[in-house]
Amino acid sequence: MKLKNIDLNAMMEAEQKKRKIWKLVLTGGPCGGKTTGQARLSTFFENLGWKVYRVPETATVLLGGGVNFAELPEYAQFEFQENLLRTMIQIENSFFALAEASERNCLVICDRGSMDASAFVTKKEWEEILNRNQCDEIDIRDNRYHQIVHMVTSAKGAEEYYSIEHHATRLEGLEEARDRDTKAAEAWIGHPYVDIIDNDCDFESKINRLISCVALKMGIDIGDRLNVNAKKVKFAINGPLPKDAAFPNFRDFEVAHHYLQTASRTMQSRLRKRGRMGKFSYIHTIRKQYGGQMIEVKTPLTHRDYSHLLDQQDALHLTVNKIRRCFMYNNQYFQLDIYKEPCHPRCRGLMLLETYTTLSKAEFKDRLPKFLNVDQEVTGDPAFSMFNLSLREEWIDSKKFCHRLSDDEDEDQDATEEAHNRLEAVHRKSSFIEINSGSASPVI
């Protein structure tokens, strides 16, 4: 297939120069640092020249008017949550419109977001609220906000600092605060970009981690000013997949990745389609090596733009199909990618677990899910790179196998064979375990 006239370098540069609007939800349990975090985020980004809008917490506005939620009868609690969601969406829309009208880069900080309302009603009641208001969960969770940051309550790990003083609407004791925190975190399971800021450090470092994780997701280089950037880590998981009951609360999504044609070895371009029950979101990602650094730009797409770019699919790559399972464990947000057919034989049965962490390898080991059979960390290993996994040819025969993004002709046959052997070793372990224990498959 001939490469059509689409300049990916120009697209990447245009996206980086484009005026940015970043819609951030700051959520969490009581006394987690949201108020201070909002103020510090505002100051930080205003100093960078951004316009910052702070959307007030709708529940605090309503509860501050004399409402005692615990005293309401069940039907009134249901109606309160429905009205809260409607009011929240309208208030947010007002601030989103102001951001659209601004000529400056804008950060919109939402003090809690749409899905937080779901933490106070049953699943059946939440679905009824969505239906009555013609809302779709994918739209109001995944497509509405760019990033979710959960500030863990001080009642988990920093109990000596937990207080309900000087807060008119905070009435929770320690146990209730912990429960509220867990429910608030689980409400956002499924959003593609969730960061959990826990209490494994002092409060100043916690706030710096908040600012750093937002800047990182936005693609803003802040150097070592905060020095707490989380790094993505990836682990190979041996099969079989545990039964659903072994997992904490989770959401499964259908995910398809398509690699597009590029004119240079220093650049990769791919499309991602992600969703469930027929409702999808679309992202175009361009990765480029520049000045010894990796630059990655993600652009949300409409279905029309996605379909247009799909014409540029690289025939040397197969479509990557996965089930992506999102869940919380040990105050950590995990994504488990379960590769599914149609796929290259090298991907059959493959499972890769990803998350972000600021911890060292030794410290993070205890955070890994105990119910999964973790084989080894594979962060940065080309044998588990999606670009290489999607190659149509066998790696040893392919000139496109990528050890690193580089101008050089990267034809290290020995290194490629070693990568193949590492992947095969994981497959052999999984096959042996599955034969002895049986397997389970996710169903969406």
Q: pLDDT at residue 378 above 60?
A: yes
- In the structure, what pLDDT confidence band is assigned to residue 358 with cuts at 50, 70 and 90? confident
Least confidently predicted of 186-195, 370-379, 426-435? 426-435
User: What is the DSSP track for 298-351?
Assistant: EEEE-HHHHHHHHTTB-TTBPPEEEEEEEEEETTEEEEEEEE-SSS-GGGTT-E
Q: Are 372 and 237 in contact (CB under 8 A)?
A: yes
**Least-confidence region, from 293-297, 326-330, 380-384, 401-405:** 293-297
pLDDT reading at 7 higher than 90: no
Task: Please list, in sequence order, all residues whose beta carbon lies within 8 angstroms of the beta carbon of residue 296, skipping any fewer than 6 positions away.
Answer: 219, 285, 286, 287, 288
CB atoms within 10 A of CB 257: 22
Nearest to 264 by CA among 2, 7, 1: 7
Range 83-99 average pLDDT: 96
The arithmetic mean of pLDDT across residues 48-69, rounded, is 89
Q: What is the pLDDT of residue 105?
A: 93
Structure tokens at 125: 């009641």
Q: How confident is the model at residue 219 (pLDDT cuts 50, 70, 90)?
A: confident
Please compute the mean of the pLDDT values over residues 342-368 and round it to a whole number. Answer: 90
With beta carbons less than 8 A apart as the criterion, state whether 126 and 118 touch. Answer: yes
Confidence (pTM): 0.77
Give the mean pLDDT of the chain: 87
Ramachandran angles phi, psi of 316, nearest 5°: -80, -5
Q: What is the mean pLDDT of residues 162-176?
A: 67
Q: Is 60 exceeded by the pLDDT of residue 152?
A: yes
Kindly tell me if the per-residue pLDDT of 86 is higher than 80: yes
Q: Of the candidates 391, 411, 290, 404, which has an alpha carbon nearest to the alpha carbon of residue 347?
A: 391
Determine the pLDDT at residue 68: 83
Q: Is the pLDDT of residue 434 over 80?
A: no
Question: What is the biggest distance separating any 2 CA atoms in the chain, rounded to whole angstroms?
Answer: 71
Cα–Cα distance between 367 and 364 in angstroms, integer? 5
Q: Does the pLDDT at position 436 exceed 60?
A: no
- pLDDT > 70? residue 179: yes
Burial class (CB in 10 A: 0-12, 13-18, 19+), 292: exposed
The two beta strands, 51-55 and 106-111, are: parallel
Q: For 206-234, what is the mean pLDDT?
A: 80
For residues 97 and 68, which has the higher predicted lDDT (pLDDT)? 97
pLDDT over 50 at 324, yes or no: yes
Tell me: pLDDT of 190 over 50: yes
Residue with more model confidence, 433 or 147: 147
Q: What is the pLDDT of residue 440?
A: 57
What pLDDT is recorded for position 388? 96
Alpha-carbon distance of 283 to 274, in angstroms, equals 9
Average pLDDT over residues 374-402: 93
Residues 6+ apart with CB under 8 A from 122: none
The whole-number pLDDT of residue 1 equals 41
Task: Report whether 54 contacts 36 (CB < 8 A).
Answer: no
Quote the CA–CA distance of 84 and 334 in Å, as a whole number.
29
Distance of CA 64 to the CA centre of its chain: 33
pLDDT per position as a tens digit, 236-277: 999 899 999 999 999 999 999 999 999 888 889 999 999 988
Exposed (0-12), middle (13-18) or buried (19+): which is 124, by Cβ within 10 Å? exposed
Q: How many CA atoms lie within 13 A of 181 on its CB side?
A: 29
